[in-house]
Chain A
Amino acid sequence: SQQGEEDPQALSIQEGENATMNCSYKTSINNLQWYRQNSGRGLVHLILIRSNEREKHSGRLRVTLDTSKKSSSLLITASRAADTASYFCATVGSSNTGKLIFGQGTTLQVKP
């Protein structure tokens, strides 16, 4: 069974608005990662947050992690049309074997 569930499944916003995507997971983790996938392409790593971290920033991206609630959120600020893509969270278990288990993803559409 999959580890993560993402919410919402689809999100449509106007350029310049902020986009927030949420991810919940089931088991204890070593870290949680967010990936982006453009249509018809492979996944690209965006950001990693470790289990002992609560917030991380990278450019227009802000990720939070709440291990007590087993949830994470990805915020994209000042969105651009080029941000249109699917976004996936993925977790590495606390045993850190390297297995990355993905959620189902959020499809983001940013309208120009």
Chain B
Amino acid sequence: NAGVTQTPKFQVLKTGQSMTLQCAQDMNHNSMYWYRQDPGMGLRLIYYSASEGTTDKGEVPNGYNVSRLNKREFSLRLESAAPSQTSVYFCASRGSASGNTIYFGEGSWLTVV
């Protein structure tokens, strides 16, 4: 039982490049989330998916797109990366069995130069 798995763990992009962060959970959770964490800013919600087939914007959605590919997978795409998107990205999931507890992946460190 791996929990929440994110890839890649580290990535350096040039401004304007695109990339997709992958996230998968093996806990049969309905809800999945993407957060970004910046120094002194805590975690800010980018997008979330309450269930398979649905996605909603969070606090800071601009510059990102998401896909809830199936119940297990929730990907985050940067179409044209900008230096302001340099951050640590966390995927998370929640299921009815876990109540309101959210389980996090280990993070993806993204640098845009």
Nearest residue, chain A, Cβ from B102: A100
B42 touches A88 (CB 8 A): yes
Q: Which of A33, A43, A96, A102 contacts B44 (CB 8 A)?
A: A102
Docked CA distance A96–B43 (Å): 19
**Given A98-B31, A98-B100, A99-B58, residue A42 in contact with residue B44 (CB < 8 A):** no
Interface residues on B, range: 20 to 34
A38-53 interface code vs B (CB 8 A; 1 in, 0 out): 0011111100100000
How many CB-defined contacts (below 8 Å) exist between A and B? 63
Cβ-closest chain A residue relative to B50: A98
Whether B90 contacts A31 by the Cβ 8 Å rule is no
Chain B residues near A90: list those with CB within 8 A.
43
In angstroms, Cα B92 to Cα A105, docked, is 18
* B2 interface residue per 8 A CB criterion: no
A85 to B96, CA, bound (A): 28
State the B residues within 8 Å of A (CB): 4, 31, 33, 35, 40-45, 48, 50, 58-59, 90, 92, 94, 99-107
Q: Are B42 and A48 in contact (CB under 8 A)?
A: no
**Interface core residue of B35, B58, B104 (most chain A CB under 10 Å):** B104
Q: List the B side residues contacting A31 at CB < 8 Å.
A: 100
Question: In the bound complex, what is the Cα–Cα distance between A92 and B98 (angstroms)?
Answer: 14
- Looking at the assembled complex, report how far the CB atom of A27 sits from the nearest CB atom of chain B, in whole angstroms: 13
13 CB-based A-B contacts, threshold 8 Å? A2-B44, A33-B102, A40-B107, A41-B107, A42-B106, A43-B90, A98-B50, A98-B100, A99-B45, A100-B33, A100-B45, A101-B45, A104-B42
